[in-house]
Chain A
Amino acid sequence: MPVSLPPELQKPGGAVLTNAEVLRIRNDFPILHQQVNDHPLVYLDSGATSQSPSSVLEAEQEYYEQRNAAVHRGAHTLAVEATDAFEDARATVAGFIGAAENEIIWTGNATGGLNLLAYAFSNASTGPVPGTAGRFALGPGDEVLVTEMEHHANLIPWQELCRRTGATLRYIPISDDGTLRLEEAERLITGRTKVLSFTHASNVLGVINPVEVLVALARAAGALVVLDACQSVPHLPVNVKDLDVDFAVFSGHKMLGPTGIGVVYGRQELLNTLPPFLTGGSMITRVTMEQAEYLPAPQRFEAGTQPISQAVALAAAVRYLGETGMERISAWEAELGQRLVRGLSGLDGVRVLGPGTGQERIGLAAFDVAGVHAHDVGQYLDSQGIAVRVGHHCAQPLHRRLGLVSSTRASTYLYNTTDEVDQLVEAVGNVRGYFGATDGVR
């Protein structure tokens, strides 16, 4: 079925975003207008969780005030309206990434989505599930391939899948500049590779991985491709059909939406032969005391009561992003990302992780401050109202590869100004002095 973005989400871009436009955008986000530690809040932690515009908050409230009911069952008016709102939300989110409605599965978050896939493959491996395909089965001799830069959410579910099935987990290493070593990818993607799962954009390095190259290698080897789109769908125009991946996973709370909702995209012909993960109510056709038959996707993966208000609110978030224009958002954030790298790497004793100035990156930068632990950097910044993430950002193997235990990460979104980036850079410039890390001791 050909899929195209609904007109309201296509927005050909219009003028590029400017600070003036961003200041107007900020008016839509109530939480941004507050003082933290006697300074105006500078929120640079959207890579962890983003903030919501009023339209999203109102959509969730309106749902509870006007239409709340159980979906897909019951004949009463509210149940019909709730079902319509829920399925409209699915269509909106599907359109946003170029998918068909029945290719979108709701989960609790991206982690839940990656586990859904790993457990579905696991179920395919432990015995034939009636009406499902053997192509998802893994066993000894088969391989699952990830990369060295994965978030733990796209690593541990595969470790566990391999442990349960006897398959082997391998990873594509990175270069010192944080880019994937494609010659290694070529060597590692073989006929034994059953699944290739990798992040579209790194939550630490900021690199955007070459999806086309990796998909081509995987296709040639007959491997399934899973894309962790957590840091791409919120920030870049993403069309899953153009990328030609088999599955993609992302979280609502990182794209102006609420917590408690994530999305799995899967190609329709795959979803309808993939065994379910969670089973129970709402996902079956006929049940006897001995066995059950399952609904087609997406319902076969949505056992139990779903995150309905969250889906409705996520659709409002997607509408907000679509109306602003993903091309404009990604261009603005690319500018902020470059400004971050330029400013931070110009500071004495500050090492930016990942690609250097001028190289492509999304609007985030993780960095190490010589002689000052990331926790202390974060605390110093917080005292000036600047919110950043510190720690290993759920990527311990990546930090180890870079010779670090932790780092500090500033991540932007459509509501951040160049002034805010400059404030961060200036504050980071004072960190080593405050902690006495510039006088050679230690």
Chain B
Amino acid sequence: MSALDSLYQQMILEHAKSRYGADLPADAPAVPGQPGTGQSHQLNPVCGDEITLQVQLDGGSVQAVRWHGEGCAISMASASVLSELAEGKSPAELLQVMDAFRTVMRSRGKTAPDEDLLGDAAAFAGVSRYPARVKCAMLSWVAAEDALRQAVSTA
């Protein structure tokens, strides 16, 4: 596999196109106002990439992660994978996945991903070797962590 292909794994390119969860209306109100729902907007000032992401809790677990955003294949795929992965997890479980993802992303390729825990998100391990792209992969995760905390506090 070429270095480029190990960055843009097939899994990532597919998620970048299918964009699971990318059905949050672009005009979603900034504060959704429903109990158990949190929303966060994140911007990457370097490239202007943006994401608005909503976490909805129901009965102690994540019912849905919905988002809209504009960005590169890495950031869009990352949001897609995250949305799929989060569904049905308890907040504590999701935070554990987030921690694991962050650790891998900061490792510059030195930490092997725990595939059981990270699922499709393990495909992003290759991104950690490209420091300029780590922010792209992290954008939706930062938004999700923020939105999750809000959702928990209003549930």
Binding site for B on A (CB under 8 A): 37, 372-376, 379-380, 383, 390-392, 396, 399, 405-406, 434-436, 441-442
Contact = CB atoms under 8 A, between A and B. Distances in A.
Contact of B133 (A379, A383, A406): A379
Interface in B1-36: 2-4, 7-8, 13, 16-17
Nearest to B4: A383
Contacts of B16: 435
B136 interface: yes
A399 B48 contact: yes
A266 B117 CA distance: 63
B92 interface: no
Nearest to A383: B4
B13 A436 contact: yes
Contact of A391 (B46, B50, B74, B133): B46
For chain B, the bracket of interface size reads 20 to 34
A391 B71 CA distance: 10
A42 to B, nearest CB: 16
Contacts of B74: 375-376
A375 B133 contact: yes
A435 B13 contact: yes
Given A376-B72, A379-B133, A406-B47, 9 more contacts: A37-B3, A375-B71, A375-B72, A375-B74, A383-B2, A392-B47, A405-B70, A435-B73, A436-B13
Interface string B42-55: 00001111100000
Contacts of A376: 8, 72-74
A210 to B, nearest CB: 30
Contacts of B4: 379-380, 383
Contacts of B3: 37, 383
Contacts of B136: 375
A399 B49 CA distance: 13
B73 A392 contact: no
A435 to B, nearest CB: 6
B7 A379 contact: yes
A377 to B, nearest CB: 9
A374 B47 contact: yes
A433 to B, nearest CB: 12
Nearest to A392: B48
A396 B46 CA distance: 11
29 contacts: A37-B3, A373-B49, A373-B72, A373-B76, A374-B72, A375-B47, A375-B49, A375-B72, A375-B73, A375-B74, A375-B136, A376-B8, A379-B7, A379-B130, A380-B4, A383-B2, A383-B3, A383-B4, A391-B48, A392-B47, A392-B48, A399-B48, A405-B50, A405-B70, A406-B48, A435-B8, A435-B13, A435-B73, A436-B13
Q: Residue among A379, A390, A391, A435 with the most chain B CB within 10 A?
A: A379
Given A379-B7, A383-B3, A436-B17, A391 B73 contact: no
Nearest to A377: B72
Interface of B: 2-4, 7-8, 13, 16-17, 46-50, 70-74, 76, 130, 133, 136
Closest 8 interchain pairs by CB? A375-B72, A373-B72, A383-B4, A391-B47, A405-B48, A376-B73, A376-B72, A392-B48
B17 A442 contact: yes
Nearest to B73: A376
A372 B17 CA distance: 10
A405 B73 contact: no
A116 B101 CA distance: 45
B47 A390 contact: yes
A372 B70 CA distance: 11
B43 to A, nearest CB: 10
A383 B133 CA distance: 14
A314 to B, nearest CB: 28
A383 B126 CA distance: 14
Contacts of B47: 374-375, 390-392, 405-406
Nearest to A399: B48
Contacts of A374: 47, 72
A58 to B, nearest CB: 32
A434 B12 CA distance: 13
Contacts of A434: 8
Contacts of A436: 13, 17
A375 B8 CA distance: 12
B153 to A, nearest CB: 32
B73 A396 contact: no
A405 B49 contact: yes
Contacts of A399: 48
Contacts of B48: 391-392, 396, 399, 405-406
A225 to B, nearest CB: 31
Contacts of A380: 4
B78 to A, nearest CB: 13
Nearest to A373: B72
A373 B133 contact: no
Contact of A373 (B2, B13, B17, B71): B71
Contacts of A373: 49, 71-73, 76
Nearest to B130: A379
